[in-house]
């Protein structure tokens, strides 16, 4: 492996370690906004993987690009589903609407 390869491996391992430390220290209140931000980052990686899969770089990069598109798309869709579920926990329950012909309760209630 060349010196560039070692530097790239070092940066990859360092980024994983720093990312783990940052994510593990996030308070529960900030998980929903953080999920939304990571969905945006996954969208950026999806665009990059589409560029790799669609470029004429050879057979192996195309196969790896298709795998990356599938993984990134799964991450984006799953992240949005989970974020939607988390946000729905904070919605207020809907009040039952009055049916036509119902009379209001005595004393108002507006």
Give residue 9's pLDDT.
92
What separation in angstroms does the CA of 108 have from each of 38, 86, 104? Answer: 49, 36, 7
The better pLDDT of the pair 87, 6 is held by 6
Tell me the whole-structure pTM to 2 decimals. Answer: 0.54
| Confidence category of residue 1, pLDDT binned at 50, 70, 90 | confident
Name residues whose C-beta falls within 8 Å of residue 26's C-beta, 6 or more positions apart in sequence. 34
């Amino acid at each position: 492996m060349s010196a560039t390869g070692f530097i790239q491996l070092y940066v990859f391992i360092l980024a994983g370690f720093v990312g783990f430390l940052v994510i593990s220290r996030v308070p529960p209140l900030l998980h929903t906004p953080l999920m939304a931000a990571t969905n945006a980052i996954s969208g950026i990686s999806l665009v990059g993987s589409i560029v790799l899969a669609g470029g004429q770089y050879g057979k192996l990069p195309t196969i790896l690009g298709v795998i990356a598109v599938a993984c990134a798309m799964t991450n984006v869709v799953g992240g949005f589903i989970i974020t939607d579920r988390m946000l729905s926990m904070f919605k207020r329950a809907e009040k039952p609407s009055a049916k036509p012909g119902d009379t209001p309760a005595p004393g108002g209630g507006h």
